[in-house]
Structure formats: structure tokens, C-alpha cells
Structure 1
Amino acid sequence: MRVLVSALVGIALFAGCLGVWWFYFPVWKVETSVRKQLPDGFATFSGVKYNRSTGAGCGYVNVGSRPGLPRGTTHFVLLADGSLKFDPDDRMTGTTLQQLEALRKHTDYLALVYARCA
């Protein structure tokens, strides 16, 4: 009886470890790839998901107030080729042409999100 219980516990632990690896390992890879592309590598993540069919990772990253990077928490898309795209922070102000250009950047990013992350 002890052998049977020990075998069942061992199988349950193995299945649990395999489940954690299956679901968390891709998220960990996405977070690591994003950190490598940041200047100092420091960031906090939330809502990170990995789409196995497209190979893209999406979520929110907070890099603080570092120059050249989005301020505060912003959405990101890590494509399968390793390129990183941030949600554009362009404001819809200025002339009509400037507003249309900012709107185009936002719609291009949203199309990327729906194609890769949904």
C-alpha cells in the first residue's frame, strides 16, 4: 500500500511541476527577453501572456521614468522575431495632420495587438 501511495504522490508532483513549467515558462521567457532589451534591465510586469500560435508575448511593463522609454505602466508586444513594440504615447494634439498621424500610430499598434495577442 505504501508503494502505491508513494507512486501516486510522485506522479502527482511530476504532473504539477510539468503543469507549472508548461504555463509559466513561456511567460518567464517573455519577461526575460523584454528585460534584455531595456537599458538597465529593471522592470515590473503585470498581465503577461504568451500566445503559442503566433509566438508573441503581450502584457504591461513599468520601467519607471527612464529617458527614451515610455513613462509608467505601458502595454508591450514582444514579437516572435524578438522585436519589442510599446504602446505609442503620442497625444492627439496639434494640427489636423499631426492628429491623424498620432491616430494612425495608435491604430497600427492596436492592429498588431489584435493580430498577435488575441
Structure 2
Amino acid sequence: MKKIEDRKEEIAVSFSNGNFETTFPYLSESIVWHIVGENTFKGKPEVVAHCKQTAEYFKMVQTEFITDDVMVTDSKIVVRGSAEFFRNGKQLNHILACDVYEFNNKKLESIHSYCIPIKKRDKMKETNRT
């Protein structure tokens, strides 16, 4: 396993894009994940359980994650982007998101996720516009 100092940005972007499992070794036992306005998960077992539940949902839909911007400091990574979820060409959700990751020298300590739902659209119609 690479040192966390060399992987902070990779860990944050992976988590923001729904690739949770690769980040599990870097989570602090006392991690707190605040999904602002929705829920707070405290401790690695709760965070991992929610990640696994979310990953199961991702398997049932087509996902499109876009990372628009990544900002890096010594102890924080901010990932701004969007996620769209489709089934049978119909958009289920479109979320604009900003995730703030706080690291100590050894582990990921906290995540603050700000998720804003955007009006749904029909991917099939958009594809047929060209």
C-alpha cells in the first residue's frame, strides 16, 4: 500500500466517483462522513456499510461521473463534479456535488459532501438532437 501522502488526491477522486472499495484501507477508524442535509455516518464500519449500499445501487443503473475540479492543500482535498444516473435511457437523478476530504498524516478523517439535485432530463432525447 502506497503512503497516504502520495495518494490523497487519488483517494478523494475515487471516493467522489463511487469507487469506494479502493479507499477503504485509507479510512480512519473514527472517520465521519457528513452528507449535508441528509445524513451523517460515524466510524469506519458505518461509512463502509453506506458505501457498500450505495455501490449496490450503482450496479443497478448506468452512471456518469464527471470531475470538474480538484483543489489540493496539505490536509484537504476538494472535489467538485457531477453524477448522473440512468435506467433504460431515462435519467433518474442528476447531482452537482462538492466533496471536502480532510486527512491527517495517516488516514482520511472526515468527508463533507454537498449534493444538489438538478432537473431530470431524458438522455435518449439529448442523444437524438445531433
* TM-score (ref. length: structure 2): 0.35
Higher relative contact order (CA 8 A, sep 6+): 2
Higher helix proportion: 1
TM-score (norm 1): 0.37
Between structure 1 and structure 2, the one with the greater Rg is: 1
